[in-house]
Each structure stands twice: as structure tokens, then as C-alpha cells.
Chain A
Amino acid sequence: MKLFKGKMTYVFIIGLYIILEILNKTGIINSYMMQIVKFAGINIIMTVSLNIINGFTGQFSIGHAGFMAVGAYSSAVITTVLFKTINWPVYMQIPMFLLSLLVGGLVASFIGFLIGIPTLKLKGDYLAIVTLGFGEIVRAIIRLIQPVGGARGLSAIPQYTNLFWVFVFTFLAIYASRNFVNSSFGRACISIRENEIAAETMGIDTTKYKILSFTFASFMAGVAGGLYGHLLMYLQPDMFSFVKSTDYLVFLYAGGMSSISGSIVSALILTALPEFLRFMSEWRMALYGVLLVILMIKRPNGLYGGKEFKFLQIKNNKRMLETEQH
């Protein structure tokens, strides 16, 4: 099972992790900044998963935070509501945490599947409105569920999410997405984006693949939600409103549709950017907006529209030498 091409990528990832841990332990990077790094990882997972639906399959889903909410709450239920794992011995906590993430992903993907079936006969704006509505419905329903705290929120969630798990799951999300895209599954989704009628005449069941991309993406969003809840230690339904969904749409567009590399870079930069702009206090968000506008003017296709980093590409280099480029 070959992972990324070239050992350098492994070295880079492991090295980065080690460097960050060292910087944290020696106090050069304080715990606040470390939290930003962890948020960045979670945002990468969210953006990459949204890219599968909006970028690669060409659908218009704008309620992605709803899946995150479902995953966050489901996983928190496992570790906090059903089992008070905070009282458990440490060697039992980690498997429960991982189990809770899996549950979060599965529940979110199940919801994604249920949403997928009736809505995917819809196109464009109509699909967008339904996904928007879904996001809000999730929020409204969670507010009513008293056992998870309802509108007051769910607190005392153990902080199981550390840098290591963020790295692991971010890596897995990127790896799975890249492999998905470079397979017949991904190609079928891309063909739906490009020309649905032609895709049908190739024998591709477009409804099945739209549902598949929703289910796959919402699984990842659910896991990201689980990581999120176990990082913040507190969940509240309003955290997952349309505003949160728009955050991920912004990351996606800034990075470039159907570019996994773009999603990674933009999620990193745009998560960190508000922190760097803190010195501007009340002008912070204004400048954030201005920078985004400049970005879209200069690079209308996003930072990396349609292209990928070297380590994410799967190319047959020998063949490519024999062909025309551009």
C-alpha cells in the first residue's frame, strides 16, 4: 500500500509534527497558538470534504456545518453522555475517543445519505437551499434535545483531541480524498460536474455517485466535528449555524475548487489569518474581508484552482514526457 510518492512527504509530515511538539514543549509556541494549529487541521478536513461535494462533484452544498454538528454531538454523546469516560483509566479513554470519532463519522454520513436521496434530483440553487435548510434544521433539533444540553450546550467534554490525533486524521482525510479523486469513483463524480448528460450516456449512475460523494464527505465532516468537540470541550448548537458553513465555503473558494492542495493551504492561512490580524482589533474582520476580495480578484479560480501539489499528484511521468504539455 503505497502512500504518497516519495519518502520526502513522510519525512516532512513527521518532521513537522515533531517540530511543533518541541516548540510547544519549550514554550516558544504557547498553548493558544497550538490550539490554532489544531483548529487549522480540523478546518482542513472540513474544507477538503466540502471540496468533494462542491468542487469535484460540482454540487452546491452550503450546509456543511450541519454534518459537523451531527458528528460533534454524536461523538460527544459517546464520551460524555452515555459513558462518563473522563472517569475512566487513560488506556481506555483513547479507544473510546477513537470509537466516538467513528460513531460521529458514521452518524453524519448516514444523515448525509438520507439527505442525499430526495435532494439529489435537485440542481443548483434548489439543492443549495435544501442543504442550507438542513444545516438550520440540525441546529434547531439539537436545541430541543435536553440530554445533550439543548440550547445551553454540552459541556465537560474531555479534551482528547491533541496535536497527534489532529495530524493523523488530517493526513487520513487528505490521503482518502486524493485516492478517491484518482479512482473511477472520483472520475465518475468529476464527470457529473463536467457534463451530467454525457456521464449518464457513459453508463454512470449519476444519482448513486452524487449520494456517494455526499456520504463520503459527510463522514469526514462528522469526524472533524468529533475532533472539534473534544478540543473545545464544549458544544452549543449555534456554533454550527450557516455562518460556520460559510466559513468553509470561503476556505473552499479561496483555495480553489477541486484542488485538494488549495483547500489545505487556504484552510491553514485563513484559520491563522484572523489571529495575525488581532493587533488591528476592531478592523480585523474588515481587513480579513478586504484580503479575501483581493484574492478573488487576483486569482478568480482560487489559490490553486484545479491544480495540485506535487506530492498529491498521481502521474505517469514516463508517459507524460512523450506528450504535449499545454
Chain B
Amino acid sequence: MDLLNVKDLSIQFGGLKAVSDFNLSLKNNELVAIIGPNGAGKTTVFNMLTGIYKPTSGDITFDGKNMVGLKPNEFAKEGIARTFQNIRLFNNVSVLDNIKIALHLKVDYDFKSALTRNKDFLKQEEEVEEKAFEMLKIFNLEKKAYLNANNLPYGDQRRLEIARALTRDPKILLLDEPVAGMNPNEIDGVIELIKYIKERFNLSILLIEHHMNVVMSISDKIKVLDFGQTIADGLPEEIQKNERVIQAYLGGGSKAHA
């Protein structure tokens, strides 16, 4: 059974059909990339898949459950996590607390316990702290735990965002341009990181990216969007040779645009 099944998903803003009939069947431990020129509707798809936008038509079924119309925090509870195109970290909050906030759903002490800091509260807070540090260690950020998130260098901020999304133990991770603005060294690091977390956390990943070497090296399948419509869908090798894609996106000739 598909982990995530999206059928004929469309969204219209007034007269503009931003996304038309987007289809996806995402399986366990699969990485599907969504590529396309700027403005093609890729982030809009992500927004629909996380409840930030409500589609005008179409279905989203996650693990058998119908998701259309649910609020973002309900999507999150089901196990969908994401990073954002323009990094949405909790800036004036420490790196550690960014992770702790992601563990919000994992604590269940009540208000009274929090105000009195009783045994149950302290125990759960200790667990939260342990888990948070474990996650930071995986991403090599534990030495910077108490720095404010906005004081991190750019590459670390992107990694922190991914770490934060993973802390939620999601079944699906949506990565929106995770290597934007990075130099080739950092990009290689992120490629390895994505491969690692896909295996270690048994994730399914949806990836929006413009860097073709990233897309081609880690995707199982690729979908190409242009003006909201899916113009190609298939294996990386097929997409590389697809004329329509090359015209719309790769900009003439069959050289991959790095």
C-alpha cells in the first residue's frame, strides 16, 4: 500500500490555477523529487501536503487516512514533517530549544505539573533534553546547542531545520530546496546526509530542488512541474532525456544544470 497517495490535486487562487491534477503515490523508503522552473507550483504542492493550503479539488490519503481539510498541526501529528524554502527556524531561540519545540507532542504533563515542576515534569523534561541532544549529535550541532538559531552559519541553519523536522519521527519528510545557497562542498555534505537519514530513519522523502546533481544522485523517481501541470514523471534517466523537460527547464541541450 502507498504511504501517501495524492490524486488529481488542484488548487485555484481566484482565476489562477496554481496546481492542476497533481498525482503521487509515495511508497515506504522512497525518494521522489519534484522539479520545475520557479513558480511552477512546487512549494504550493508542499503547502497542500502539509495543510497550509486547502486544495480546491483532489484527494490526499496518508496511511489510508483522508487528509484534505485538516489543519497543519493535524498533518504534523499524522507524521508529515517539512523544511521550508526560506528557512523557518525559531530564530531568537537556542538551537537546543528549536529541537525541544519539535518534541512538543512527545510530552504529556499537564499545566499544573509544569507550574510546580513536579517529579513527572522533571522526568519528562530530562527525557526531552536527552532526545534533543541525541538529535543534535547526529547532525553535529551539539557543540552549538546554546547558541541562538540565527547566530548559526547558513549551512548549519539548514541542517538544524532538517534536524528539527526529523525530531518529529515523521514517516514522510518534505525537503524544500535544502541546498539553496550552498557551495559544492556543503552540497555534497547534504547529499550524504539525506542518504544517511533516509536509511537510518526509514523515511520516505519528497524533495524540491534545483540542483540537478543532487536530484539525479538520490531520487528514485522524479516529477516535473511547469505552470502547475505535471509535464513528466519517471526515473531519473528518463527525465534527463525527456525533450519537454529539457525545453521547459533544463534550458536547451541535454546538459544537466548544476
Query: Are A197 and B52 in touch, CB under 8 angstroms?
Result: yes
For B52, what are the chain A residues with a Cβ–Cβ distance below 8 Å?
197, 200-201
Query: Are B121 and A187 in touch, CB under 8 angstroms?
Result: no
Q: Is the CB of B202 closer than 8 A to any CB of chain A?
A: no
Q: Is the CB of B92 closer than 8 A to any CB of chain A?
A: yes
Query: Are A203 and B91 in touch, CB under 8 angstroms?
Result: no
Query: Are B88 and A323 in touch, CB under 8 angstroms?
Result: no
Q: Which of A206-260 contact B (CB under 8 A)?
A: 206, 212
Query: Are B142 and A183 in touch, CB under 8 angstroms?
Result: no
Tier of interface size on chain B: 35 or more
Q: Is the CB of A205 closer than 8 A to any CB of chain B?
A: yes
Complex Cα–Cα for A269 and B173 (A): 50
Query: Are A195 and B146 in touch, CB under 8 angstroms?
Result: no
Residue with the greatest number of chain B CB neighbours at <10 A, chosen from A191, A203, A320, A326: A203
Q: Is the CB of A198 closer than 8 A to any CB of chain B?
A: yes
Q: Is the CB of A322 closer than 8 A to any CB of chain B?
A: yes
Query: Are B84 and A179 in touch, CB under 8 angstroms?
Result: no
Complex Cα–Cα for A326 and B151 (A): 8
Q: Is the CB of B183 closer than 8 A to any CB of chain A?
A: no
For B91, what are the chain A residues with a Cβ–Cβ distance below 8 Å?
194-195
Q: Is the interface of A mostly helix, strand, loop or mixed?
A: helix
For B105, what are the chain A residues with a Cβ–Cβ distance below 8 Å?
202-203
Complex Cα–Cα for A204 and B75 (A): 11
Query: Are A203 and B93 in touch, CB under 8 angstroms?
Result: no
Tier of interface size on chain A: 35 or more
Q: Name the distance in Å between B77's Cβ and chain A's nearest Cβ.
A: 5
Partner of B71, one of A176, A195, A200, A306: A200
Query: Are A323 and B114 in touch, CB under 8 angstroms?
Result: no
Q: Which of B99-155 contact A (CB under 8 A)?
A: 100-105, 107, 109, 111, 114-118, 121, 125, 128-129, 133, 142-147, 151
Partner of A197, one of B88, B114, B164: B88
Partner of A198, one of B84, B111, B144: B84
For B72, what are the chain A residues with a Cβ–Cβ distance below 8 Å?
197, 200-201
For B84, what are the chain A residues with a Cβ–Cβ distance below 8 Å?
197-198
Closest A residue, CB atoms, query B51: A200
Query: Are A188 and B88 in touch, CB under 8 angstroms?
Result: no
Complex Cα–Cα for A197 and B53 (A): 11
Query: Are B92 and A324 in touch, CB under 8 angstroms?
Result: no
For B77, what are the chain A residues with a Cβ–Cβ distance below 8 Å?
203
For A319, what are the chain B residues with a Cβ–Cβ distance below 8 Å?
133, 145
Q: Which of A269-316 contact B (CB under 8 A)?
A: 306, 316
Query: Are B117 and A201 in touch, CB under 8 angstroms?
Result: no
- Given contact pairs A2-B117, A197-B88, enumerate 11 new A-B contacts (beta carbons under 8 Å): A1-B118, A180-B115, A184-B114, A186-B114, A188-B101, A194-B92, A199-B101, A202-B164, A316-B129, A324-B143, A324-B146
